[in-house]
Amino acid sequence: VLKTAAMVKLDWQRTVAHPSFLPCAREEFGSEPNWKLVSVKRIGLPALAPLARRYRLVVDYTREGETVRLLVDLILIGKGRTEISLLTTAPYADRKPVEAAEVRLARALVARATA
């Protein structure tokens, strides 16, 4: 919770809405050990709050010779003076129920954001 709603909007402009957000995410997550970054992109999200975005990273994670495709979803929300970040990691094959659960959880968090 920040001091003013204007501070949330300014932070959003400087980070989430900044053109370097996705390239920075690619660079940050692309250097993780045992991870091969497959894709990074913005994906759809219902209008949960005035500021709301969801980004998906798809990675191939290898351990002991086995590779599993994973999704790493980042939901970012700004409402009033409140910023919410929700990070989910799950097997890519389970993406549909995970997406639905993310939206339910994000709605609940937004509903609790009173500031």
Other beta carbons within 10 angstroms of residue 78's beta carbon come to: 22
41-90 pLDDT tens trace? 999 999 999 999 999 999 999 999 999 999 999 999 999 999 999 999 99
Among residues 71, 98, 75, which one has the least CA distance to residue 86? 75
* Pair 60, 35: CB distance under 8 Å: yes
Q: Is the pLDDT of residue 110 over 90?
A: yes
Mean pLDDT of 98-110: 95
97 pairs with which residues across the strands? none
Percent of the chain with pLDDT over 90: 83
Dihedral angle of Cα 30, 36, 38, 42, to the nearest 10 degrees: -40
Q: Please give the pLDDT value at position 103.
A: 96
Q: What is the pLDDT of residue 113?
A: 87
Q: What is the pTM of this model?
A: 0.89
